[in-house]
Structure 1
Amino acid sequence: MAGPESRTKLAEWRVIQHRGRNKILRASRDPVARAKLRAEIPSPMSGQLRISEADRASAIATFPAFLSEPLPTPSTSRHSFLTFPPEIRNAIYRYSVQYPTCRSLYDYYYDQKEKAKAKIELRPRSANTRVSRHSKVPLRTPTILLLCKQITREALSFLYCQVFVIDRIPPWLMGNSAPLPLTDFVSRPTLQSLRFVEIKISLGESANVGSGNIWLGLLNGVLDAWSERNALVRLHIVFKLSNVTRPNMWFYELEDFEKLVEKLSYFEFKHGSRPGLIRWEHWVLDFEYAYKVGYRNPIIRIHPDPYIWQGSVIEWV
């Protein structure tokens, strides 16, 4: 059974939901309150992890040794990429150097499965073949990182400050007792080289599927890789809490919430690069609205908002 601290948190989440609903109700009756609420609602992407200058400097300070050597004077050829203005080069780096989303990784996985299945169906029935359930998604180094030292240094400064977002569990194939491990899609060395990671954990989604238990299984593999080695500068944990007024939903879910917080906190203490590595954020989901915990006058977001409503533990069930 969940401890008193977690039960206190659940009561707090219910209070936040009550305050959020009252705020929306007032806005529905008063044009002035409605205009104020609309002005307060942030833009869809404004809630992404903000990287401070100190964190950015910490990430760039971990450049490989060969990039720390003095660079030669750039070529003065009019056709040299390095003679472009920094603004143009930076725009190209932003376009060329990005981490894939979980959705794109999983979609690629399913696309390859369908292609492999189609090839097998075209073969004679006597062929003893089947589609592998655990084939890994190939990730390639962007070509722009292989050109020269200065371009690599400039491009890596963008890559190191990119945020990798884990907002969905991997596909859950029929017959499996759990979703596929995340390391089938992102290798351990890649996980261990990430500087900024945001994990969005959905809880309280279904009485039949324990959301917290599923996320515990997923994080076991991720934290195991990071416990071996990691380059984390900032880890942002977002809890998305649904159905907080349904006691039967949270009888076991609250225990799993405790375990998640305990597991992440232990990792921060034991393997974190510094105290305060993890930033915590909690949102109470209420149909098409979401209320941010920690404010007497809660911040509100409205569906559809990709920062809040993306990902679900029951998406692949």
Structure 2
Amino acid sequence: MDYTTYRTDGQGGLRRVQTAAAPLPSDGVRVAVRAVGVNFRDVYVIRGNRYRAPAVDQVPMTDAAGVVVEVGSEVTRFKVGDRVCSTVLPNWIDGPLSAHGMARSTAVLAEYFDAGENDVVAAPPHLSDIEAATLPVAALTAWHAVAELGVVGAGDTVVVQTTGGVAVFAMQFAQALGARVIVVSRSRDKLERTGAWAAINTETTPEWDQQVLALTGGHGARLVLDMGLDDSLRRSARAAAYEGTVAIIGVVQQQTNPLDIYTVMNKNLNVRGVETGSRAMFERMNRFMAEHGLRPHIDSVHDDVDAALDRIASSPYGKVVLNPRC
């Protein structure tokens, strides 16, 4: 069987390659791709940016939902016809992240992709393929920060920066856990869509950290999700409560992002990075979403890669998805 794979051309675009299907190993599964989630990092992998040249001869994108069409002789976790999602870091099954967990990444922009049976998870049954394709990076990163760190409880305040895919998932998870969400964005229209407990427009209130303190009676937020915006870390630390957590869940700034060390020390803050999540986290998240009936916010669906990349670069509300079957 031959199938189409897309590879980066090193010039900011993609080329179609006909790939011959290799025999599956005994623990392998072959997945027919039904939808692909697009992330901010996919823009610079394919097109590059001021710091990084476009990738050369690489299968891009990591997030896919699809159907198992073939299994190896010793596969027990899945059968033909099962709907699955890719995992971004397939070596990270459970426990803390390690160098081994970071050593391998998934590539899915093709008609089919092959994976080990431990490299995919069952798609939530209540979600469509389009919805399930949004989960591997954006939803899992948000879930890791909001739920797996174990710092948020009912009645706590959570600050979420921006209204992109990770941010919108974070709002949903925090609200489902009973937290009060304060969303920070420069877009009035997007702020009005969030349904958050409070919204701060950075165009009119650039000192949003002070507004967070005012809204919380001076206590600050138990968790601040920092998207790595220009000069966001200092404000995130100032907006956090004593013994609070600042979780860095994105890196989109174009300049150095300084950190107010005095505030971190003085408040006994925990400042930590959040890298997607393990397969075990993914499975816990999927169960939580099914139990609470949570569905992704889909900004747009495209059948053209360039259109999807253009949209993800223009600050969408929620997730952008590529659907080759449109």
Q: Where on the TM-score scale, by shorter chain, does this alignment land: which range?
A: 0.3 to 0.5
TM-score normalized with structure 1 length: 0.32
TM-score normalized with structure 2 length: 0.32
Higher relative contact order (CA 8 A, sep 6+): 1
Per residue, is there more helix in 1 or in 2? 1
Per residue, is there more strand in 1 or in 2? 2
